Structure 1
């Protein structure tokens, strides 16, 4: 029995069909993009402010705190806005204790829940006639501006004229002037 040889034109037609199918489903643009990394969607700022000063007052009309920053960039996020701060400074005022000054290199502000987060070289200090100056140093400090409450789980150094205390974690009620060091507390006191 003799085997039939395929006709040459059938091979050419089959090759053209396969080539046409590939051309319709894979364009040069698709092939070029397949290996390219996917870029995240770039969000543009909603508001950009230079030299911002924000003041907040209590129910009796007294100044409660101020928030200053060299630069603020707000981004729209769902129901509110999130802002990045450059060189933020917060001043808390209270009738019960001396004012607290808080500064950092960077920060974030969240409009939905009155939260400010200070990052990088955070310094908080207060000066009273009775106790002198007290300075706190840490890398991150979360602040509830309405309650004048600050906390961190990072290492903290607390310095005064006569003592130097180190710990991990801090809870501070700045309005009442109370602080709690959370763990690994070590200190040196010089009378």
Structure 2
């Protein structure tokens, strides 16, 4: 009798266990939305123009890819952006970066610095955030900026820069202090 009861109970459990346990169909359901699809450690990324010339190159100790959302997050990115042939490249650093739109837009945040060597002089632009558009070769921000070179310091709120044309437009609240050389 006990054996028959055990057999019936086992059969009932097996019959009820035929219902499949739902499994996540999306990778993001399995790992969660906040976790990356993939990541790279000690990354080096290079982008080329149509002629095969290096356009931008950056390194980062860690890049996390979020494919469903169409972006990648970078820790402490350092970038070199080439301008016109024969001109010195732009050097960029930041605490954080986000690469969007199929690698065409780089958003930098946190202690953003852009350094450009111009002959014997160098100029440094500092801000809290900066967006680089690889398609138009433009950089822009609406945050406060500071530009320091050998002859002075300029402060402004917001700016646009056309990198190939070497044109810088400061948006508002522009103040500068310059000293002439002896």
**What's the TM-score, normalizing by structure 2?**
0.76
| 1:110 and 2:68 correspond | no
1:121 matches 2:111: yes
CA shift at 1:65, angstroms? 1.2
The answer as to whether partners of 1:92 and 1:148 remain within 8 angstroms in 2 is no
Deviation at 1:76, TM superposition (A): 2.2
RMSD between aligned alpha carbons?
1.6
- The residue aligned with 2:79 is 90
Query: 4+ residue stretches of structure 1 with deviation over 2 A?
Result: none
Match of 1:182 in 2: 171
1:117-172 Cα offsets, whole Å, 9 max, x none, are 00000000100116x10100000001112332100000000000111000000101
Number of equivalent positions: 148
Deviation, structure 1 residue 113: 6.1
Q: SS of the residue aligned with 1:98?
A: coil
List alignment gaps of at least 5 residues for structure 2.
Answer: 1-30
More divergent stretch after superposition (163-172 vs 42-51): 42-51
Q: Which has the larger radius of gyration?
A: 1
* Distance in 1 between residues matched to 2:68 and 2:164, nearest whole Å: 30
